[in-house]
Amino acid sequence: MLKLSKLTDYAVVALVRLGQKNEVTTSPVLSRSTGIPEPTVAKVLKILATQGIVTSQRGARGGYRLAHPLEEISIASVIQAIDGPISLTTCVDGGDCDARSTCGLGGQWDMVNAAIRNALSAITLADMKNHTVIDRLGGLQAPSMPSGPAATA
Amino acid sequence: MLKLSKLTDYAVVALVRLGQKNEVTTSPVLSRSTGIPEPTVAKVLKILATQGIVTSQRGARGGYRLAHPLEEISIASVIQAIDGPISLTTCVDGGDCDARSTCGLGGQWDMVNAAIRNALSAITLADMKNHTVIDRLGGLQAPSMPSGPAATA
DNA sequence: GCTAATTGGACCGGAACAGTACTGTTTCCT
DNA sequence: AGGAAACAGTACTGTTCCGGTCCAATTAGC
């Protein structure tokens, strides 16, 4: 249902919390302060470390730390780190579309995909912490349907 | 990985095809002209009928027909009809967030969600048929990262 | 009134994901 | 040098959801 995985949600929460304290923090501490189960938060941080979002310090007194300030980490980065590349359909980016010849809409999905990616790239973790999203995107919280006759869900 | 279901993809293809012929069309015919398996296209049309995107005519000589012109059907409508409401996280729109008190980012996901929904609502099925998306959204296909230091995937 | 064609709704199998646990490696402190 | 603390990697299990199939209800035409 066009929803991102829970892991991504957890990742954002953990990263924002990590950005608030500007020091090396361990998984258990992050687990306690966020409410995320300890093994899960560890897993998330682990993935984020491999993607360069956070840096890890092994051994005793180790932990994780943000590799970049919150302002420089976009939501899109986190999503791509956890869930993989943002590809709405398999056709996007040269995927093997079994009905490419008959479907009629050449690479139009790429445009939709780009629109999403652009919207996600415009929002940073700092925007999630503060409440500055409204200012930067200006009224995006308007009712979704432009002329909305269909899908009254 | 933030990808929408195949059914939604099929739905868009079927709807665009349905919009090209402006008459009642049966599932088998749509299946042949789109390359989508017959049972699948039938299922998709079925769902779209319940959501009011298409109107159905039962019995012999029945079939489906668009309830609105392609220009009035947004991608968001189709996604919501097939995949359900666009909710990136469970927190969105009053969902039960088990860690609402500790996660720290109140309803910030709503903003992200709204951004996505807005981007999706700006694109209609007519845009998918023609290639007018670029004109209407103006350069959304730019490289995603704004300052992109992280997630070099 | 009967037959054929077509939609409507329910059911089932399979894949993907979330979450958990375990073991190994690295580093600090005593 | 020894022990403890913490990350790194791998494997496993349970659940959820998607995708596809089958049967029942309905209507036009003869």
- Residue A15: per-residue pLDDT: 94
- Residue B5: per-residue pLDDT: 86
Residue that wins the pLDDT comparison between A1 and A68: A68
Q: Is the pLDDT of residue A69 over 80?
A: yes
Q: Is the pLDDT of residue A51 over 80?
A: yes
Which residues of chain B are under the pLDDT cut of 70? 1, 92-104, 106, 130-153
Q: What one-character DSSP code corresponds to residue A87?
A: -
- Residue A98: per-residue pLDDT: 56
Q: Which residues pair with B98 in a beta bridge?
A: none
- Residue A146 within any structural domain of the chain: no
Distance from CA of A95 to the nearest CA of B (A): 13
Q: Which residues pair with A55 in a beta bridge?
A: A65
Residue found by looking up tokens 């109107």 in the block: B55
- Residue B35: per-residue pLDDT: 85
- Residue A141 within any structural domain of the chain: no
- Residue B127 within any structural domain of the chain: yes
Chain A residues within 8 A of B123 when measuring between CB atoms: 111-112, 115
* C-beta atoms of B75 and A112 within 8 A: yes
Q: Give residue B42's Cα distance to chain centre.
A: 17
Q: How far is the CA of A13 from the C1' of D21 (A)?
A: 42
Q: Residue A23: is it exposed, middle or buried by C-beta count within 10 angstroms (0-12/13-18/19+)?
A: exposed
Q: How far is the CA of A12 from the C1' of D29 (A)?
A: 62
Query: Are A95 and A89 within 8 A, CB to CB?
Result: yes
Helix, strand, or coil (residue A56): strand
Identify the CATH number of the domain in which residue A112 sits.
Answer: 1.10.10.10
Domain that holds residue A42: 6-134
Phi-psi bin for B139: left (phi > 0), alpha (psi -120 to 50), beta? left
Count how many domains chain A has: 1
- Residue B39 within any structural domain of the chain: yes
Apex CA B149: angle with CA A112 and CA A123, to 5°? 45
Residue B36 φ then ψ, to 5°: -80, 135
Distance from CA of B60 to the nearest CA of A (A): 26
- Residue A144: per-residue pLDDT: 36
Q: Is the CB of A40 under 7 A from strand D?
A: no
* Whole-number percent of chain A with pLDDT over 90: 47
- Residue B94: per-residue pLDDT: 58
- Residue A79 within any structural domain of the chain: yes
Q: Which of B118, B86, B76, B150 is nearest to A137 (CA)?
A: B118
- Residue B34: per-residue pLDDT: 87
- Residue A85: per-residue pLDDT: 86
d(CA A129, CA B114): 17
Q: Is the pLDDT of residue A58 over 80?
A: yes
- Residue B60 within any structural domain of the chain: yes
